Amino acid sequence: MFRSGAFVAEHVTPVGEDQVQPNGVDLTLEAVFRQREPGRITADGKSIGARHRREAGSLVDSDGGEPGYETDPDREGHRLAPGNYVVRYAEVVSIPADHVGFLYPRSSLLRNSCMLNTAVWDAGYEGKGEGLLQVGYDIEIEAGARVAQLVLAEAGHTGEYDGDYQGENV
pLDDT by residue, tens only, the chain of 170 residues = 899 999 999 999 999 999 999 999 999 999 999 999 999 999 999 999 999 999 988 876 555 555 455 556 678 899 999 999 999 999 999 999 999 999 999 999 999 999 999 999 999 999 999 999 999 999 999 999 999 999 999 998 778 888 888 899 99
Q: SS3 for the chain, per residue?
A: CECCHHHHHCCEECCCHHHEECCEEEEEEEEEEEECCCCEEECCEEECCCEEEECCEECCCCCCCCCCCCCCCCCEEEEECCEEEEEEECCEEECCCCEEEEEEECHHHHCCCEEEECCCECCCCEECCEEEEEECCCEEEECCCEEEEEEEEECCCCCCCCCCCCCCCC
Domain range 5-37+47-57+75-152, CATH architecture? Distorted Sandwich (2.70)
- Domain boundaries of the chain, sorted by first residue: 5-37+47-57+75-152
Q: How far apart are CA 73 and CA 64, in angstroms?
A: 9
Instruction: Give this prediction's pTM.
Output: 0.88
